[in-house]
Amino acid sequence: MCFLSSRKKEIEIRMLLTGISQENIQTGVSCTERRQMPNLEYKSDVFSMLLQDKKNALEIYNALNETNYKDSSLVEMQSLSSGISLSIRNDASFIVSSYLNLYEHQSTFNPNMPVRSLFYISRLLEKLLKEKDLFGRKLIRIPNVKCIVFYNGLENQPEKRVLRLSDALEHPDRETDIELICTVYNINTGYNAQLMNSCGVLRDYMTFVNYVREFGRGYQLEKALNLAIDRCVKEHVLAEFFRKRRGEVLKSFMLDYTFERRMELIRRDSYQEGEAQGRAEGEARAFQKSVQELERRLGISTEEAMDLLGVTAEQLTETKGLHD
């Protein structure tokens, strides 16, 4: 998904749920409590921002596919407009040489990427083919699809992992008529050396992440980010990018961090409230609180709030009496 469409909606939602004002985040400053971040995982949108540039997207494509395309105008960026769920979004979608590429950055391993990608691809193909006659006699061609995940979390993960939709089947030992594959590349230091050496964008991105981690061991989040950015600019690592978009980088980090903290506290409070009934009820109450807050603040329906948060009906109604 193009960052400019769904991310705008996501930022508005996260601002509402975290209590951060527009004035606060323009400089990356949160009005919430400042905390040390020795174990903070990285969910920033720096990766998304970098891949808005067709040159960067093409560079990563070339490195992955061992191609040598030079003309960035060959990159056709794809996006989904309003109505997309926060759980059905990715960092970059683009077509090159009849290949539809879905790129996602993650700091936490997610085994459900094939299912998520299936949802996203379905909606994207619906958009791409809306003017085509799918009921006619002529075969309608669609792009080949490549789903790639770039992992850089702190948890140990293999250098490369292949996730299959069939892994999620209720009966994995039985034949199925549908399959979707996502390839996960570990881009942490020491992994996939050939890929990282051939792709300056990925290499520089991880240099920035590593600097944030390094400074984060001794400073609070905002200070660590500023020190990391200063060092990158000084060392000519994504220097032009950070000069132009420093404010956006700080804002996205602060929003993501405070949003995760907010959701963590909601879950903790809800779990304590429903502890006597067990963990499932506590989790359900946490989802219920989040959905109700979106309904109240955005004036939307329960179904719309659930879609925005990626909450299923089963998660929301795990316990009886939640709507009472």
pLDDT tens figures, 312-321: 777 666 644 4
314 domain residue, yes or no: no
Q: What is the pLDDT of residue 82?
A: 44
Calpha distance 248→48 (Å, rounded): 11
Taking the whole predicted model, whether its pTM rises above 0.75 is answered as no
Residues sharing a CB contact under 8 Å with residue 291, sequence separation 6 or more, in sequence order: 302, 305, 306, 309, 311, 316
Q: What is the pLDDT of residue 303?
A: 74
Q: What is the pLDDT of residue 165?
A: 95
Q: What is the pLDDT of residue 258?
A: 57
306 domain residue, yes or no: no
Range of the domain at 269: 3-273
68 domain residue, yes or no: yes
Q: What is the pLDDT of residue 99?
A: 94
309 domain residue, yes or no: no
Q: What is the pLDDT of residue 166?
A: 94
Calpha distance 297→291 (Å, rounded): 10
Q: Indicate the number of domains in the chain.
A: 1
Q: What is the pLDDT of residue 162?
A: 97
Calpha distance 190→185 (Å, rounded): 12
* Among 3, 2, 9, residue whose Cα is nearest residue 310: 9
Residues sharing a CB contact under 8 Å with residue 14, sequence separation 6 or more, in sequence order: 20, 255, 256, 258, 259
Calpha distance 127→116 (Å, rounded): 17
Q: Say if residues 315 and 291 touch (Cβ distance below 8 Å).
A: no
b/e map 217-249, b = 16+ CB within 10 Å: eebebbebbbbbbebbbeeebbeebbeebbebb
Q: What is the pLDDT of residue 270?
A: 53
Low-confidence ranges of the chain (pLDDT < 50): 1-6, 20-43, 82-88, 319-324
67 domain residue, yes or no: yes
Calpha distance 313→284 (Å, rounded): 10
pLDDT tens figures, 128-164: 999 999 999 999 999 999 999 999 988 899 999 999 9
Q: What is the pLDDT of residue 292?
A: 80
161 domain residue, yes or no: yes
287 domain residue, yes or no: no
End-to-end CA distance of the chain: 37
Q: What is the pLDDT of residue 310?
A: 62
